[in-house]
Amino acid sequence: YWDTDENDNESGKKPSELFGKFTWRIEKISQVNKRELRSIVFEVGGYKWYILIYPQGCDVHNHLSLFLCVANPDKLRPAVVNKDPKKSKYSDTLHWFWKKEHDWGWKKFMELSQVLDGFVVNDTLVIKAQVQVIREKKSRPFRCFDCTYRRELVRVYLTSVEQICRHSIEERRGKLGKLIEDKVRWSRNHLSREKTEVILKEVVKQFFIEKEVASTLVMDSLYSGLNMLESQSISKKGRAKLLDTEETPDPMVSIDKDMFVLADDMLLLLERAILEPFP
Amino acid sequence: KNAIERDERRLTELGRRCVEIFVFAHIF
């Protein structure tokens, strides 16, 4: 459920053109006595960026502060590279840049003692930024474009994505639980579909615009989950393929053109929605 | 590789369940 440039038929730039990497090597780091250091400007997704660091911290002690700076709506992902790739520190965040808030990052990106432990080699510090510019589309989750980076995110953030999804599902289950007690009120053919755009807007608003979460991976998870629902609605082959490797519950919702449609009897589905174990 | 695939499936399934529960919460 993870597609590529070829089947991305949206207008504008291709996904690969919206993603870019920049590596900044700071030599003789121990001799730097400036409060802040700026990288050269680099371009990703049609926007210009630079990295700003405070080697001795920005309003904090004993930390390296690191920020990505620009002047338009985007998302950012900087990392400091350790000589041992497994030890490289990755921090991921989403941010909507605007005129008065053109920089975003971490004041306490890393403790200074940690910086010296493998990150500074031959008096050189390497900082790598991976930037993904997000198309302004509020009614669709978006994916993480870079495969390697995405895998790194899964390693670091999967548990927190689980917590976020669990919290969101359980909150809604609680409300639905009260409804199911009133069985007489519901009949099979009423209130069983809604435009996908209407619901996906709510999804994106919950997870991105209201900033309840600031990780690319949540949006990426929703993106692939939605693709899965679409595939299952279009062809049963996709589902059969999935079942080869792992038992997955039948979808409770299918997609018919631009509508989400409940896939079975309303009360049965409601029970499932409330009682089925968390994935 | 199996662990990566398992994580991928888990991520997709989590996303799918979230979208589904939003459909329910909206419709009801």
Separation in Å, CA of A245 to nearest CA in chain B: 9
The chain B residue lying nearest A230, using CA atoms, is B16
Helix (H, G, I), strand (E, B) or coil at A27: coil
Percent of chain A with pLDDT over 70: 69
Q: Is residue A141 pLDDT above 70, yes or no?
A: yes
If you average pLDDT over residues A225-241, what whole number do you get?
74
**Integer Cα distance of A219 and A232 in angstroms:** 20
The single residue listed with the structure tokens 């599902």 is A169
Q: Is residue A235 pLDDT above 80, yes or no?
A: no
pLDDT the model gives residue A199? 92
Contact yes or no for B19 and A191 at CB 8 A: no
Helix axes B2-27, A147-180, angle to 10 degrees: 40
Most confident listed range (A140-154, A232-246, B3-17): B3-17
Contact yes or no for A224 and B25 at CB 8 A: no
pLDDT, tens digit (0-9, with 9 covering 90-100), for A257-273: 889 988 888 778 888 88
Q: Is residue A80 pLDDT above 80, yes or no?
A: no
**Residue A77's pLDDT band (cuts 50, 70, 90):** very low
pLDDT the model gives residue A29? 85
**Integer Cα distance of A69 and A78 in angstroms:** 11
Separation in Å, CA of A125 to nearest CA in chain B: 30
Q: Is residue A245 pLDDT above 80, yes or no?
A: no
ipTM score of the complex? Answer: 0.85
SS3 content of chain B, % helix, strand, coil (to 5): 95, 0, 5
CB contact set of A240 (below 8 Å; sequence gap of 6+): none
- More confident position, A242 or A118: A118
pLDDT, tens digit (0-9, with 9 covering 90-100), for A25-59: 999 888 888 999 999 999 888 788 889 999 888 88
